[in-house]
Structure 1
Amino acid sequence: MNDEYEHPDDKLLYVTENILQYCDNSEEFMRLRDVYNSLYQQCQCKDICSPSTCECIQRSRGANYEAYQKDGETKYKLISRPEPESYPIVECNDSCDCAVGLSVCGNRIVHIGPIEGLDIRSCDKGYGLFATSPITAGTFVCEYAGEILTATEASKSHDVNKREGKPNYIMCLKEHYGSNTIVTIIDPSTIGNIGRYINHSCDPNCHIVPVRSGSCIPKLCIFACKDISPDEEITFQYGSDDETENESDRVKCLCGAQNCRGFLPYHNY
């Protein structure tokens, strides 16, 4: 993975991909570790992956990305699917037999790493992530990487952050497959990548898409949902609200959008 970014705060540990939380020997952790270590998918393609031959693409029910030309280079963007259809995005990974690199396999976008031209800057929210060059809608920006937590550990970390007056960076993704719900919790509070600096907006220019590459646990990937201009802040919507009766749990939203809801989304773990 090509990720040459770093934190502006030397107290934080930069990681390029998710890592599993410390082992607390609980049954909940053991189940999470088993899922983390389980191989989700791999293909046996010997050359160019295509929807007719690649098991990863077939698991996605069709190609995930489409190629286009920009400034004389081949770029890739996410293919839009009709809503409310739900489908997994499965990328080729290091266990696949296909050739590595976009010159051959166009199903390795997230696997390559974040795009170039991202800049961490001070702003009215503390820090924010900004584009230094145009970003086309559908482009993969970066992963929201950090520690993969159990629900119990996430609740503990949330309570510590609240008690110590620290920002809460914990992201809880819920995927619904029929009557089943798969929950992935990522915490980049002290261990994470450039994605931790992306602020919430009620009118965002990016959104989170779960992408599986090697592991059953998805990567929380940030894709542009609009064209983004140079010096524009990169934002995504942190999620929908879980119910809470405690007003003190709410954090005021500073996005400034016309449709601002007033508070950041609140999550129960």
Structure 2
Amino acid sequence: MIYIDSCLIQSADEEDEQYDGCSCSLNDTCAECSCSNRFGINYNSLNCLNINKTGPVFECNSECRCSFELCQNRVSQKDDQCNNVEIISTPNKGSGVISRKSILHPGTYIGEYVGEVLSENEAHRRILATENYEHNYLLLYNEHQSGKIIKTFIDARYYGNWTRFINHSCNPNLHIVPIRIDQPTPPRLAFFTLREVQDNEELSYTYGTMIDEKHSKPCHCSSSSCTGFMPYQQTD
């Protein structure tokens, strides 16, 4: 794997608009600016995702006049938890990621799932080509917008970062939140905590919503609510 800090996009959508920036001054925190308040305030005073947040997350962008250091609406653009995590070997799941210190506040930003952003056709081609591999690093995220399903495919097999090693759990402590900054697509797929995380606790999220014995692999998450099978996202 080649380590990268941001996603590699095969081809940009030329029809995507550049979002307008806020007019905050360099001394503003952007706690309630036009970007952060577009669909409700995104983050609280602790820089954690608001627990009541239900709408899309728009962070300040390259057109904004605010200071990157003082802005409170650029959480996913700042440092992640890479210095506070450790990649480990697990008995039944291959590699995994643990937090080396406790994370007290729900909504804490953990990191972004990065890799190659693929078209749907290329994603299907790679799924067929790698179906016999033990590990699959192709993440599909489905968003429901105005009766439509918006699909984002990110493959971290060849290019990625440490988040590719985060395992599934039927009782996860993380979830994925799509974040938009400059343009509508592709969104950044960011991990945030769902609850307090203890030191040396393994980080995890749910791999999908679909479960069947034909397509699902055995699950080894060992949680009390384990379904016995790994869920997946339906690609069709």
Same fold (TM over 0.5): yes
Going from structure 1 to structure 2, the CA distance change for 1:96 and 1:50 (only over 3 Å counts) comes to closer
Q: Any conservation in 2 of the 1:36–1:215 contact (CA below 8 Å)?
A: no
Aligned pairs (5 A) from 1:204-243? 204-216=172-184, 217-241=186-210
Going from structure 1 to structure 2, the CA distance change for 1:66 and 1:127 (only over 3 Å counts) comes to same
Runs of 5+ unmatched residues, structure 2: none
Shift of 1:117: 0.5
Worse overlay, 221-230 or 207-216: 207-216
> Separation in 2 of the partners of 1:265 and 1:167?
14
Match of 1:147?
116
Q: Runs (4+) of structure 1 moved beyond 2 Å?
A: 35-42, 49-52, 266-269
Aligned pairs (5 A) from 1:1-269? 12-21=1-10, 33-34=12-13, 38-47=17-26, 48-50=28-30, 54-59=33-38, 61-68=39-46, 76-81=47-52, 86-101=54-69, 104-115=70-81, 116-124=83-91, 125-136=93-104, 137-163=106-132, 165-216=133-184, 217-241=186-210, 247=214, 249-269=215-235
Q: Given the two structures, how large is their TM-score scaled by the length of structure 2?
A: 0.89
SS of 1:55's equivalent in the other structure is coil
Going from structure 1 to structure 2, the CA distance change for 1:122 and 1:37 (only over 3 Å counts) comes to farther
Q: Given the two structures, how large is their TM-score scaled by the length of structure 1?
A: 0.79
| RMSD of aligned Cα (Å) | 2.0
| Identical-residue share of aligned pairs (%) | 32
Higher-helix-fraction structure: 1
Q: Any conservation in 2 of the 1:89–1:212 contact (CA below 8 Å)?
A: yes
Which one-letter code corresponds to 1:119 in the other structure?
Answer: E
> Separation in 2 of the partners of 1:18 and 1:108?
17
Per-residue CA deviation, residues 108-149 of structure 1 (Å, 9 max, x unaligned), is 110013123111111121111110111122100011111111
Going from structure 1 to structure 2, the CA distance change for 1:132 and 1:51 (only over 3 Å counts) comes to closer
Q: Any conservation in 2 of the 1:204–1:237 contact (CA below 8 Å)?
A: yes
Which one-letter code corresponds to 2:9 in the other structure?
Answer: L
Which one-letter code corresponds to 1:89 in the other structure?
Answer: V
